[in-house]
Amino acid sequence: MRKLNDLQTPYLAVDLEIFEKNLETMKSIRPGSSLRPHVKAFKSTDIAAILKQAGYSGFCCATIKELEGLAANGLGDDLLLANETLNASRLRSLVDHGVEIIVAVDSTETIDAAKDGGIRNVLIDVNVGLPRCGCDLNEVEILSGYARRKGLNIKGVMGYEGHLMFTPDRADRKRGVAEAMQVLQEAHSITGGDIISAGGTGTFDLNELATEIQAGSFLFMDTRYSTVGLPFEESLTIVSTVISVERDRKRAVCDAGVKSFATDYGKPKLEDGIIEFCSDEHSTILPTEQRGDLAFQVGDLIHLRVPHVDPTIAKHSRLACSQEGYIYGDWKVDLRGW
Amino acid sequence: MRKLNDLQTPYLAVDLEIFEKNLETMKSIRPGSSLRPHVKAFKSTDIAAILKQAGYSGFCCATIKELEGLAANGLGDDLLLANETLNASRLRSLVDHGVEIIVAVDSTETIDAAKDGGIRNVLIDVNVGLPRCGCDLNEVEILSGYARRKGLNIKGVMGYEGHLMFTPDRADRKRGVAEAMQVLQEAHSITGGDIISAGGTGTFDLNELATEIQAGSFLFMDTRYSTVGLPFEESLTIVSTVISVERDRKRAVCDAGVKSFATDYGKPKLEDGIIEFCSDEHSTILPTEQRGDLAFQVGDLIHLRVPHVDPTIAKHSRLACSQEGYIYGDWKVDLRGW
C-alpha cells in the first residue's frame, strides 16, 4: 500500500472518511432530486459516479466540457448548464443522442443561442442579489414569452444567492435567503415549471423554496466556510514537502505555490505555521506566534488546508484518496478546460 | 483561416507579432548562453523549441515534470532544476540517458538527495534577499565542502533577486541588484565554477554579475510589469465572451474567471471596463469612470490582460497563436503538473 510520501508533491489528497461523512450528511438532509450536485466543484466523472450511486442523478455544470464529459461517461440522465452560453450549438450532438439537457438563459441572445443549438429545455435565470448573470425580475415575463414563441420548454427558474454563502450568522443568512427567494418565487409564478434551482453549500438547509440545491463544495469544504457553522468538515488538503529551512530557522519553504492552489479566498492554512507569502511553486512559512519556534525540518510532509476548493482542484489532474496516512487510489479530474 | 470567435472561450491568445518582437529584443541584449529561459513561465515544449531555434539551448526549470518533458522532446542539452528537491531520484533515468542536468541545492538534505538520485552537477543556491530558499552566505563553504566530499561537481552558484523584479525605479532596481549580487559574488568566490545563475525579466539588463539570466515572462509580460519600464510588450490576453448584461446596463458579465486566470497579482485589465469581482467562471465588469456607459453587448468578444502570466498559462492546455484577428495555430502547454 502506498503512503502519502510515496507520491510526488505537491498533490491533492482527499480524506475518504471525511468525504464519505460529508456525503452521508448531505444525503440525510437533501437526498435524491432535492440536490443537484455542482460538478464545477470537482470536475471529475469518478466523483460524479460516486454521487450517482448515492442517489444523485441530476448534475449541475458550469461549462459545456463538464456536460460533455458527464454524458460520455453515462452520467447524462439530467444535466443543467447553470451558466449562460452563446455557444449552445456545441450541445446539439448530445441532445441528438438523447442526453437530457437544460440550459440557463437570461437574455434574448442566450435564448436564441439555445434554440439555434437544438436545446429544448431552459430555466430562466433570475438575479436574486448577486450581481453576476440572471435577468431582472421585470424581464422574466418578456423573456419567458420570447422563449415560448421560440418553441422552448421553460422548466422553471434558477437564481443563485451566492452573495449569502459566507454570511457568518445563520439567522442573518436565513433572512437573506428568504428575501432572495421571494424574488425567485415571483419569477416562478410567471414562468411556472417544476424546477426552482438555487442555493449552494452555505444555504443548502436554509433555502426552503428551491426544489433543488446546487451545491458541490460540501464534499471538501473551503477553509472560508469554517466560520459559517455548517455540518461538513474539510476533507481536502494539499500535500507538500518542506524543501528548505533558513539557517536561523526563522522560515521554512515548501514546494506548493499558486500553481497548485487558488488564493482568491486567501492563503492556505496549516498546523504549526503561517504562510508568509506564496510564489508560483513555493510558499514561505513562518512559525506561529504561539509556538515561536519553527516546527519543520527539510523533507517533512505538510498538509495545507484549501481556502477555495473549486479553482484549486481545477489545477490538478488527479486527487489522491487517502486514509490514515495511506493512499487507496485516486480520482481523475477529467473535466478541466472548456 | 479561423478567427478569434471561432474558438470556445475562455482561451489564451498570444499575439505572434508582439511575442516575436519580445524575443528579438531579448536576443539583441541577452543572446545565446547569456539567457537561460525559464520554462516555468510557459510550460510548453513548443515554445521551448522556438527558443532553441533562437539560440537558447539551456533551459531553467521549476519542476521535474518540466525537465522530463523537455528531455523527451529533444530539448535536454542543458537543463537546470532551479528549485530544491528531495525527489532527485526521479531524474536518474534522464541522467543515465545522457541528459545534462544541474540541480540547485541549499542544504545537506538536498545535496544527499541529488547524490542519491545520480545527479553529478549542482549549483549552490544562495539567499540574496528574497526569503525563499537559498542558503545563507555563511553556509556556502560548508555546503560546498559537503557536496564535493559526496563527489558532486559544483558548477557555480545561483541566487534569485526576486524581491527586486517590480521595483519601479530603474536606478533603485539597479542598486538593489548590485547589492544582492555582491552576496552572490562572495558565494561564487568560495565555490568557483563557470555559472552564476540569477535574474529575471525585471532585472535582465541590470544584472552585471550573472553569467546567465533566468527569465521567462518577457515573452508575454505580466500587466504588473507595466510600471517597471521594460522594453517588452504584453503579448498574452484571455479571450472571453460577454454572456450577460444587466437590464439597466450597469454591469456586464464575461465567461472568464479564476479558473482561467490567476489573481495573485490582482484582477485582469481590459479596455473600456473595470473588473468588479471574479468568480470561478465569470468576471463582473463595470464601465470605466471616464466612459460612464457600459461598452459591451451580449456576445461581444473581449480581451483581458493578464496580471501574472505564469500561473495563468498553467490553467490552460493550449495557447492560440493570433495575429490581426486570425488564429494561426496553437502551442500546447504540455508541461503542467509535477
Neighbours of B90 (CB within 10 A): 14
pLDDT of A227 reads 85
A292 pLDDT tier (thresholds 50, 70, 90): confident
pLDDT at A32: 98
What residues form DSSP beta bridges with A277? A284
Q: Taking CB atoms and an 8 Å cutoff, what residues of chain B touch A260?
A: 338
Give the gap in angstroms from C-alpha A56 to the nearest C-alpha of chain B.
23
Q: Tell me what pLDDT residue A135 has.
A: 98
Helix axes A140-149, A170-191, angle to 10 degrees: 40
Q: Say if residues A252 and A242 touch (Cβ distance below 8 Å).
A: yes
Which among B138, B277, B311 has the least Cβ separation from residue A259? B311
Give, as one character, the DSSP assignment of residue A171.
H
Distance from the B271 Cα atom to the nearest Cα atom in chain A, whole angstroms: 20
Distance from CA of A75 to the nearest CA of B (A): 22
Q: What is the pLDDT of residue B227?
A: 85
State which amino acid sits at residue A201.
T
Question: Is a pLDDT exceeding 90 seen at residue A30?
Answer: yes
- CA proximity to B26, closest of B195, B158, B215: B215
Q: How many CB pairs under 8 A join A and B?
A: 154
Mean pLDDT, chain B, integer? 97
Shortest distance, CA A20 to any CA of chain B (angstroms): 25
Helix axis angle for B108-116 and B140-149, nearest 10°, is: 20
Among A8, A90, A228, smallest CA distance to B87 is for: A8
Q: How close is the nearest chain B Cα to the Cα of A119, in Å?
A: 17
How far B245 CA sits from the closest chain A CA (Å)? 7
**Cβ–Cβ of A85/B243 closer than 8 Å?**
yes
Tens digits of residue pLDDT in B145-155? 999 999 999 99
Report the length, in residues, of chain A.
338
pLDDT tens track for B216-259: 999 999 999 988 999 999 999 999 999 999 999 999 999 999 99
ipTM confidence = 0.97
Element (H, E) at A94: helix A92-96
What long-range pairs does B97-106 form, CB within 8 A, spacing at least 24? B97/B71, B99/B67, B99/B71, B100/B76, B101/B67, B101/B76, B102/B78, B102/B155, B102/B195, B104/B80, B104/B133, B104/B158, B105/B143, B105/B147, B106/A244, B106/B133, B106/B134, B106/B135, B106/B143
| Residue contact B86–A246, C-beta within 8 A | no
Residues of A in contact with B284 (CB under 8 A): 131-132
Angle (nearest 5°) at CA A124 between A116 and A82:
80
Interchain CB distance below 8 Å, B136 and A279: no
Contacts of A142 in chain B (CB under 8 A): none
> In this complex, do A107 and B311 lie within 8 Å of one another by their Cβ atoms?
no
Q: Is A138 exposed, middle or buried (0-12, 13-18, 19+ CB in 10 A)?
A: exposed
Domains of chain B: 2-11+233-332 (2.40.37.20), 16-220 (3.20.20.10)
Would the pLDDT of A257 be above 90?
A: yes
| Nearest CA-CA partner of A54 in A70, A69, A32 | A32
Query: Which residues of chain B neighbour A9 with C-beta distances below 8 Å?
Result: 87, 338
Q: pLDDT tens-digit profile of A217-254?
A: 999 999 999 889 999 999 999 999 999 999 999 999 99
Distance (Å, rounded) from C-alpha B15 to C-alpha A309?
32
B240: helix, coil or strand?
strand
pLDDT tens digit sequence for B200-224: 999 999 999 999 999 999 999 999 9
Select from A64, A86, A131 the Cβ nearest to the Cβ of B241: A86
pLDDT score of B292: 84
pLDDT at B291 over 90: no
pLDDT in tens, B149-197: 999 999 999 999 999 999 999 999 999 999 999 999 999 999 999 999 9
User: Would you state the pLDDT for residue A290?
Assistant: 87
pLDDT at residue number A24: 98
Burial code (b: 16+ CB inside 10 Å, e: under 16) for B158-171 equals bbbbbebbebeeee
Give me the percent of chain A exceeding a pLDDT of 90: 98
Report residue A18's pLDDT band, with 50, 70 and 90 as the boundaries: very high
Contacts of A158 in chain B (CB under 8 A): none
C-beta atoms of A247 and B139 within 8 A:
yes
User: Which of A243, A245, A251 to mutate: most B Cβ within 10 Å?
Assistant: A243
Percent of chain B with pLDDT over 90: 98
Return d(Cα B8, Cα A131) in angstroms, integer: 24
Across B255-278, average pLDDT: 97
Cα–Cα distance for residue pair B242/B247, rounded to 1 Å: 14
Section B88-97 average pLDDT: 96
Beta-carbon separation of B316 and A337 below 8 A: yes
Are A243 and B315 within 8 A, CB to CB? no
What are all long-range contacts of A144-149, with beta carbons under 8 Å and residues at least 24 apart? Answer: A144/A190, A144/A191, A146/A108, A146/A111, A147/A105, A147/A111, A147/A114, A147/A122
Q: Which residues contact A79 (CB under 8 A, 6 or more apart)?
A: A58, A59, A61, A67, A70, A71, A99, A100, A101, A102
Residue B228, Ramachandran bin (φ over 0: left; ψ between -120 and 50: alpha; else beta): alpha
Residue-level pLDDT at B221: 96
- Does the beta-carbon distance from B106 to A258 stay under 8 Å? no
